[in-house]
Structure 1
Amino acid sequence: MLSNPNLEGYEITRKFWQYYYNSSKKTFVAPKKCSGCYNDDRFVVWAVSVGVQAVVDGARLYKELEPLIDPAVAIFQKYKNNHIKGYSAAENNGNDKDIYYDDDAQVASAIITAYEVTGNKKYLDQGRELVRFLMSGWNDNPNARNKGGVKWHINNAYLNACTTAEVAKACLQISQFIPSESKVYVDFAAKCIDWQIKVLQDKGDKLIMDGIQDTADHPNDTKWTYNLGATLSASSHLYHITKDSKWKDISDELAKAGIDRNAFFYDRDYSNDKRYWRDPSYFVQLIIEGLADYLLYVGDDVPEDLRKGVTEEVRHHLIMFYEYMKDPEDGLYIQSFEPHLTYKETYETKYKREFGDRKGWGLKKDDKDGDKDVPLKCLMGGASAARVFFQGARVVPKIE
């Protein structure tokens, strides 16, 4: 039974590091091609960023993980374009331009967090350089139908929620450590979230839509958990810094929408007490982080009913994730967050007992070994699971 989410996060981090980190190649290497690999054995920078963030999150609490920070952060240099100063999706010779601003925002967050934990100024310098690159992704094309927002890719002006909010989040992180430049970063973050709420928030359910092409008439109205989570992190941090009630109102609205079990990203095929976020764990980790940031940054100003609701919702999801997605043999996790898309034995012994047989068993494509119905774990799954527990523990440190 899950009792200490932080300890669970630590155990997962230790195991995925042992499983994937190759000390001779000084990077994460897949023993067998799996989800998140761009070739037979190397991972895209997005998966690496989540892995490094999990290591740093863990080291904040468990000092024995601190020696892993430097080799973890050093992996990013294999992906860096030395001219543009951004990080490509794949390892390269320093010139590749397949660069995504949302991936790089997560790289920046991991590097800046490494500075928070260690005080090593080289991480602050690296983070500052990358944040400056991220800010260059603002869409200032005067001929665009949709102006503003941060681009998805350096060559694609899809203006999406995760990119815009995650860049804002990275700006706010670094603003704390460079007082002479702080206003520049805070103002840019405010510009990002103002745009996000104006353009991508559904005025009905208050959720955040995925994005809009700079030439399009209408946004892509898919609503993922991580888009709301990253926006909530940024708006809450803006309130903490500025004390402007506008940001508190936005944060309250987003937090309430994120835990509404009638929301788009809940599986509503079940009774209310059994509903859950149906996104994969690499998205869910960011809504949990957003809710934790909301409680931290809005603090005593959080309405008591919302505080209680956030706490209960995070607790509900931590327990379900632990019960259904943990491999009892090696302690690692697949990426699914849906209890029927799990290990066959878990489905037969747990899912049917709790949920009945309303949904048939299966595995998500990302959790399969090729076309076989055999689970195959990956770096992203392990890293996201660690972050689910580390971030969740900020809300629910102990489960009785």
Structure 2
Amino acid sequence: MSLTNPNLEGYNVTRALWMRYYRPHDGTFIAPRKCSGCYNDDKFVVWAVSVAVQAVVDGSRLYKELVPLIDPAIAIFQKYKNTSLKGFSAAENGGSDKDIYYDDDAQVASAMITAYEVTGNKKYLDQGRELVRFLMGGWNDNPNAKTKGGVKWHITNAYLNACTTAEVAKACLQISKFIPSEAKVYIDFAAKCIDWQIRVLQDPEDKLIKDGIQDTADHPNDTKWSYNAGTTLSAASHLYYITKDPKWKDIATDLAKTSINRNSIIYDRDYDDNRRYWRDSSYFVQLLIEGLADYDLYVGDDAPDGLRDKIREEVSRHLTMFYEYMRDPKDGLYLQSFEPHMTYREVYDTKYKEKFQGHKGWGLKGEDKVGDEPEKCLIGCGAAARVFFQGARLVPRIE
């Protein structure tokens, strides 16, 4: 069996993850046994919940039988809410926990705003607006900071990282079209975020985005993740669509080009060119694919000749590889790894050895196992669904 319809695969994964993890009696996702993203053995952190809920909402655009799942899915977030600060804690709490991360909450906001877009239910827009306002309060305005600006990672930690800054910008742009009277505030804030991102965290050589910088530091953390390129690409592309300022198109085009450059550090380059792949886990790759899809949508025909076709080719190749190597045929759910040697042993012994000649030894990522046995988890399944839904925006059919 081969992958031909990425949207249908996304639907199948979303339906399966809902059946596996959602417990109506508890009104939340529960792990059958402790796995990656869990705390207290069976509850999931809000980041995992946000990715799964995003998958539900993504799928509801096309598959109306998923629409009834939106309300119980969005309702899960209320268990994590700090009722005074209006942000969402990493864990369920009684309304006062302050373990709040701005990047996690930006994905919560995105799910809420998209839920409004799909359903027209204004309560989701109101929830998203309140949360976006909270997110904007994460801007680092400490006048004594060595590195000023940027959005903080955590409400108590002024590590100014790429994911928070770009994801907050994305949420601002997402909500701007639904509240015209406030749109300029959100658009200007998003532009400020991406200006800071490019000035402080972009590597001028390869155009990738560095992870972040502590506000007391002079030099950023040089680690480069695929999702930092993807989220910045999404925001820059959207800014170009709104403003038509060519600087945003140039930024977005640089990011799109480097994201599909197989010599880039976000690829595993231990193989020859035609077998290289994005090496991050699916919960990062889904945001890279979303960024490439947003570039195609928002920059569109203004992109350089041939670039959009190259993007489609690269996304198609990765969707096929992910399907072939990481899918469990028993239940249709996915491991988090995007690395074909870090998969089920039987897949390694057959497909990997045939295509990659056993270049790397077999093993499972720590996040993809319990003990020595492979184990799926909520964020991995939600990310897998989003890989296919977002990828289908570029390649709705694979021949």
TM-score category by the smaller chain? Answer: over 0.9
* Cα offsets for 1:36-93 (capped at 9, x unmatched): 0021100000000000000000001000000000000000000000000000000000
1:367 paired to 2:368: yes
1:138 maps to 2:139: yes
The AA in structure 2 aligned to 1:386 is A
Query: How far apart, CA to CA, are the structure 2 residues paired with 1:357 and 1:71?
Result: 45
Instruction: Determine if the alignment matches structure 1 residue 344 to structure 2 residue 341.
Output: no
TM-score of the superposition, structure 1-length normalised?
A: 0.99
Cross-structure match for 2:375: 376
- 2:10 counterpart residue number: 9
CA root-mean-square deviation: 0.4
Is residue 149 from structure 1 mapped to residue 150 from structure 2 by the alignment? Answer: yes
Aligned partner letter, 1:156 = N
Which residue pairs with 2:302 in the alignment?
Answer: 301
Q: Say which SS state the counterpart of residue 382 (structure 1) adopts.
A: helix
Matches within 5 A, 1:199-348: 199-348=200-349
Q: Give the partner amino acid of 2:135.
A: L
- 1:29 is matched with which residue? 30
Are 1:92 and 2:93 an aligned pair? yes
Partner amino acid for 2:117? E
1:56 corresponds to which residue?
57
**TM-score between the two structures when normalised by the length of structure 2:** 0.99
Amino-acid identity (%): 76
Q: Hey, what's the Cα distance between the residues in 2 that align with 1:268 and 1:232?
A: 23
SS in 1 for 2:61: helix
SS of 2:223 mapped into structure 1? coil
Gaps of 5+ in 1: none
Whole-angstrom CA distance in 2 between matches of 1:99 and 1:369: 27
- 1:393 maps to 392
| Partner Cα separation in structure 1 for residue 234 and residue 183 of structure 2 | 18
Post-superposition Cα deviations, 1:195-249, rounded to whole Å, max 9, x if no partner, equal 0000000000000000000011210011000000000000000000000001001
Q: Distance in 1 between matches of 2:322 and 2:41?
A: 29
Work out the number of aligned pairs and report it. Answer: 398
d(CA) in 2 for partners of 1:304 and 1:116?
32
Cα distance in 2, alignment partners of residues 41 and 384 from structure 1: 19
Q: Which consecutive aligned stretches of 4+ in structure 1 deviate over 4 angstroms post-superposition? A: none
Secondary structure at the residue paired with 1:211?
strand
**Aligned partners of 2:39 and 2:135: how far apart in 1?**
23
| Unaligned runs of at least 5 residues, structure 2 | none
CA distance in 1, matches of 2:209, 2:370: 33
Write out per-residue CA displacement over residues 151-201 of structure 1, whole angstroms, 9 at most, x where no aligned residue. Answer: 000000000000000000000000000000000000000000000000000
Equivalent in the alignment of 1:101: 102
Displacement of 1:358: 1.2
Residues 90-131 of structure 1: per-residue CA shift (max 9 Å, x gap): 000000000000000000000000000000000000000000
Code of the aligned partner of 1:392: G
